[in-house]
Structure 1
Amino acid sequence: MRFFRRLARSPSLACVACPEPDLPLDEDDLPEPLPPLPEPPPSLPPPSSPPPSSPPPSSPPPSSPPPSSPPPSSPPPSLPPPPSLPPPPSLPPPSSPPPEPESPPPLPLSAKAGVANRLAAGETATRPDSRNSTAPRRRMRGFEKEFVMTLCLSCSDLSAC
C-alpha cells in the first residue's frame, strides 16, 4: 500500500501531455548506485587473429562438391505438357430472379457512444445475455482510487491522459 502512495506522489508519473518538467525526487525515491562492472580477464586472445587450428574460411573442404553446380552427367528433366482442361459447362438461365441479399448487420457502436445512440440503433437497454449479470463487479480499493486520482493532478486537460 505504501508503494502505491509513493508511486502516486512521484512526479515522473504525471500526465504525458503536461508541459511541466519533472521535479527532483526525494532521497528515498533515488535508486541505489550500481556496482562497477568487472574487467574482462586478460587471458583471452585478441579477436583480430583467427585460431590456428581452424582452416581458413576462403577455401572449401576438398571432400564435398560445391552445392551450386549440378552433376554434369544427368540431363535436366523435361516436363510433360500440361493436359488441356475441358471448357466449363455453361450455366442454364435462372428461371426465377435471384433473391436479394440481406442488408449487412449494423456495425457495433464504440464504447464511447451514448445510451441514446445505442437505443436509437435498436439495442436494448438491458445487458446482453453473454455477460454474467449476477457476478458482482470488483470495486476499487481506496489506495487504487488515490493512485488513479493523483496521476493527473498537475494537468488541467484530463482528456489527454
Structure 2
Amino acid sequence: MKLQHKIALATLFALCAGPTIAASSDDIAAPQALSPANRIVGMWTVAVTIGPCQGGPQNTFTAFNSFHLGGTMSDTNDHAATIRSPGQGIWQYSGYGRYRSRMQFFRFLPGSGAYDGIQDVRNTIQLNAQARQYTTTVYARMLNADGSLRAEFCGSAIGNRVDID
C-alpha cells in the first residue's frame, strides 16, 4: 500500500473514531440519570400565558421547546408559520434545578408576510425534582425592524417533558 493511501486511511480512522457528544438513548429516556445541568435536555410541550407587562388581555398558546446538549435550544408554537419563524436560543444552568434561557424569532406581517422585527424572549425556569415538568417566568420584548422597542410582555408557562412512549 502506498504511503499516501496509508495516511488517508489513518486520517479517516482518526476522524471517525473521535469523541462524540451526542446523548445516549439511556440519557434521553432517563433524564434523572443526566448530570444536573443537562437534566433539561429533551423536548417539552409548553403551555404559555403572556400579555402586556402593564396589564391587559392575556394570550394563551402551546409551544414546543427543545433543549439541546451544549446549551442551545429550538422553539416553535401554534401561531401561523406565516407570522413568525422558528425560534433559536441558548440556555444556561443556574444551579438547584434553575435555568435561564433566551431565544429569538423573526416576526412577519399577516397578509403581506413583510418582515416586522424580532421577538426576544427570556425565561427563568424551575425544573421539578423528577425532571418531568418545569415552570417558567417569561419576559419578552417585541422589537421593530430597526431594533427599537415596540412592546414588553410578561407571563408564565408550564412545560411537560415529551416521552417516547
The answer to whether the superposition gives a TM-score over 0.5 is: no
Shorter-chain TM band: under 0.3
Point out which structure has higher relative CO (alpha carbons under 8 A, 6+ apart): 1
Choose 1 or 2 for highest CA Rg: 1
TM-score, normalized by length of structure 1?
Answer: 0.17
